[in-house]
Amino acid sequence: MNLNGIPHVMVVDDDPAMRTFLESFLAERGYKAVSIGNAADAVEQYQAGRPAAVILDMVMPGEMDGLDALAAFKKIDRDVPIIVLSGQGRTTTVVQAMKLGASDFVSKPFVEADLEVPLTNALRQFQLNREVATLRDQLQSQSKYKMLFGHSERMAEVQDLIERVADTDVTVLIRGESGTGKELVARALCATSLRRDKPFVKVNCAALPTELLESELFGFERGAFTGAIQHKPGKFEFANHGTMFLDEIGDMSFPLQAKLLQVLQDGEFSRLGGKHDVHVDVRVVAATNKDVEQAVADGLFREDLFFRLNVVSINLPPLRERREEVPILTDYFLKKYSVQYNKPGVDLSPETTRLLMEYDWPGNVRELENLIKRTVVLGAEAPIKKEIAHCIAMAAQRVTAASVRQGSSVAPPAWRAGGPPPTASVPSCQSALEPVRSLASPLVR
């Protein structure tokens, strides 16, 4: 227990002289000692006020000895650090204590230095456990959907739109670049809807070829094709009365789009090889990173299906257009993965924070999350600088290649026939590289 910021350490020993010595030892180091002369009273008092650590003698008179008290303490709080005191020649007792969860042991007689390191380590472990527990509680209480919304004007608009359509069954089309959080938006729609307690089923339309995707969505009857040895329900049946999330809907084949349109219009479909229609009540949420209007114009996507899906459209801005969220997301991911991997927190330098703010994040939030995860696991911020430097170099190569191709495409006939190259092509390449150089300069220095 901490009182006014002072760690309390419970001392359990039947020897008054040892208790007095330990009280003085702890007071000199800024700790408050709670001294108790027998194990049973110690366990009872431990229930009332949890100390930061326990120093426990193994050999005490009475019905409860040190090992019994240790087991009782760990039953109440398995994370409490306990240092056991044992006389010489009691190896068996020490081994039993360590198996029960003791943090360390000190053999009697001992000097202050013998207890100094085990106590410091025990209190440091207590502090770390408490910080991890606090972070875990914060992360659990802080919805991941709240981390997605509300930190910029653009995302506040997205949240407002979700709240307005959440209690309806309208079809929603989520649009945005890869990594912007389209699946999180879909899950937020489900979590705030009247179907929140019903199934949420996700299908990636780009992950399967057309034939497998059809059987995955709509199921099949026994004997429908070679290898169909038994009936299999489709994802739409699993999602009945719930929400179906169709990710990468822009990659669905044209023939399969007609069958999906039937589900949206009539709420029914037939399994592969089936003779009867299956009726379902499903809310459909779709997502894509493609220009669906252009796909309709090119004849790759059904216009009537697009109209059915696009009842409400949610457009997610890329991370480069909401840079004010980068520090908030970075802090969230640092805490999240410190807890998940039981790693100490990483403090990012101002230079690294500036680089994170200036980087364009082509992979959006997913790229930022993976970068921070790697930083926490490795325990250093150097990977961030290295990764961004690599991405800047790759961007420079792409700009150079694009400039060269552009210069080639507009070259005059005289050059193509062997004449001198146009001088305008070189300055255009240099000017195109200026933004990249300005971003890379801190890393070069």
The 10s digit of each residue's pLDDT in 54-99 is 999 988 887 888 899 999 998 888 888 999 998 766 788 888 888 8
Does one domain contain both 88 and 214? Answer: no
pLDDT at 328 over 60: yes
364 pLDDT band, cuts 50/70/90, is very high
Q: Do the beta carbons of residue 377 and residue 344 sit within 8 Å?
A: no
| 163 and 288 housed in the same domain | yes
Quick check: 112 and 90 in contact, CB under 8 A?
no
Residues 397 and 276 in one domain: no
pLDDT at 406: 72
DSSP alpha helix (H) spans, 341-424: 350-358, 364-378, 382-409, 413-416
Domain boundary among 140, 168, 189: 140
Number of domains composing the chain: 3
User: Could you tell me if 178 and 302 lie in one domain?
Assistant: yes
Q: Are 239 and 284 in contact (CB under 8 A)?
A: no
Q: What is the model's pTM?
A: 0.59
Cβ burial, residue 92 (10 Å; 0-12/13-18/19+): exposed
Check whether the bond before 413 is cis (ω within 30° of 0).
Answer: no
- Do residue 163 and residue 249 come from a single domain? yes
For 353: left if phi > 0, alpha if psi spans -120 to 50, otherwise beta; the answer is: alpha
Question: Tens digit of pLDDT for each residue in 278-295?
Answer: 999 999 999 999 999 999
Tens digits of residue pLDDT in 190-242: 988 889 889 999 999 999 888 889 989 998 888 878 777 788 889 999 999 99
Contact 25, 115 (CB under 8 A): yes
pLDDT digits (tens, 9 = 90+) for 34-54: 999 888 888 888 877 788 899
| Shared-domain flag, residues 96 and 164 | no
Q: What is the CATH number of the domain that holds 300?
A: 3.40.50.300
- For residue 174, give the nearest of 182, 166, 184 by alpha carbon: 182
Q: What is the pLDDT of residues 373-411, one digit of tens each?
A: 989 998 888 878 887 878 877 877 877 887 787 765 544
Domain with 354, as residue range(s), is: 321-444
Question: Residue 180's CB: how many other CB atoms inside 10 A?
Answer: 26
- How does residue 305 score in pLDDT terms, banded at 50, 70 and 90? very high
Same domain for 274 and 187, yes or no, is yes
Beta bridge partners of 166: none
> Do the strands 232-233 and 219-220 form a parallel or antiparallel pair, or are they unpaired?
antiparallel
**Residue found under tokens 């901490």:** 2
| Amino acid in the structure at residue 50 | R
Per-residue burial over 277-306, b if 16 or more Cβ lie within 10 Å, else e, is ebebebbbbbbbbeebeebbeeebbbeebb
Q: Which amino acid is at 233?
A: P
Note whether 226 and 268 are same-domain residues.
Answer: yes
- CATH number for the domain spanning 397: value is 1.10.8.60
Calpha distance 262→249 (Å, rounded): 15
Q: Report which of 402, 397, 403 is spatially closest to residue 440, judged by C-alpha positions.
A: 397
Q: Quick one: 239 and 303 in the same domain?
A: yes
Q: Clarify whether residues 163 and 305 are in a common domain.
A: yes
